[in-house]
Amino acid sequence: MFLVVRLLVVAVIGAGLGLGSVWLALGDPRLDLTPHLGPWRVAGAASDPYAAARAARAGGLPLGPAEGVALVATSDADGRPLDPRCHYRVTGPAPSAPLWTLAVTDRQGRPPTNPAGRIGFTSRDVIYDHAGGIEVVVGPTARPGNFVPAADLAGLVFTLRIYEPGVAADLPPAERLPTVRLSGCTMGGGR
């Protein structure tokens, strides 16, 4: 009888902690241990079983090794969560790949809607500075230059996709990627 009770306790602890820790590890972004490059997190790292599990639950397919890599920012360079009421500058060196895209969405992957149809920039249409770098401003009110209006988004996520074979296995250092800087917030922006 005592042995049965012990086995039951072991089973309850094992199932409860085991499954509970999986639920936490896959659902809480703070426990996402995928590689970070400055504010960017590597999406769907092929060798990470947690990333594979997250991708399966989300119903997505990450970029393959020959396709490139997707980097996702949900916080600025100082670790503050992105807020659609604020203006941000995605600024610094442009990725050296033949093609990259920077998409602005909410946390559900929906892009902003605006008359210009502007949802981000690519290496083909962004305006570069004299040093070959970029500065893309994202926020609720219009700014000159490379600007993405995001007033209608409830959340804010930046996804930088770099299309170059093998880049996922040989990621550029954070200093060779643009970073995300807070420019300021509108009234009620909470900053």
Q: Which is nearer to other proteins, 64 or 145 (CB)?
A: 64
Applying CB under 8 A, the span of 41-49, 81-89, 143-151, 177-185 interacting with other proteins comes to 41-49
Q: Using CA of residue 85, residue 33, residue 61, residue 16, what is the dihedral sign?
A: negative
Q: Does residue number 18 form part of the binding site for other proteins (CB under 8 A)? A: yes
Q: Does residue number 174 form part of the binding site for other proteins (CB under 8 A)? A: no
Are 127 and 146 a contacting pair, CB within 8 Å? Answer: yes
Q: Which is nearer to other proteins, 99 or 142 (CB)?
A: 99
Q: How far apart are the first and last CA of the chain?
A: 60
Q: Cα dist. 108→122, 153, 161, 184 in Å?
A: 21, 10, 17, 24
Q: Does residue number 52 form part of the binding site for other proteins (CB under 8 A)? A: yes
Q: Which is nearer to other proteins, 38 or 111 (CB)?
A: 111
Tell me the three state secondary structure of residue 12. Answer: helix
CA dist., res. 119 & res. 98, Å (int): 20
Q: Does residue number 61 form part of the binding site for other proteins (CB under 8 A)? A: yes
Q: Using CA of residue 17, residue 20, residue 25, residue 31, what is the dihedral sign?
A: negative
Kindly give, in sequence order, each residue whose CB lies less than 8 Å from that of residue 116, ignoring residues fewer than 6 positions away: 149
Q: Does residue number 107 form part of the binding site for other proteins (CB under 8 A)? A: no
Which residue type is seen at 68? G
Q: Which is nearer to other proteins, 77 or 119 (CB)?
A: 119
Q: Does residue number 9 form part of the binding site for other proteins (CB under 8 A)? A: yes
Applying CB under 8 A, the span of 76-84, 133-141, 143-151, 161-169 interacting with other proteins comes to 161-169
Q: Where does this chain bind other proteins (CB under 8 A)? A: 6, 9-19, 21-22, 25-26, 43-44, 46, 49-50, 52-53, 55-68, 70, 98-99, 101, 103, 105, 108-111, 119-120, 122, 124-125, 159, 161, 163, 165
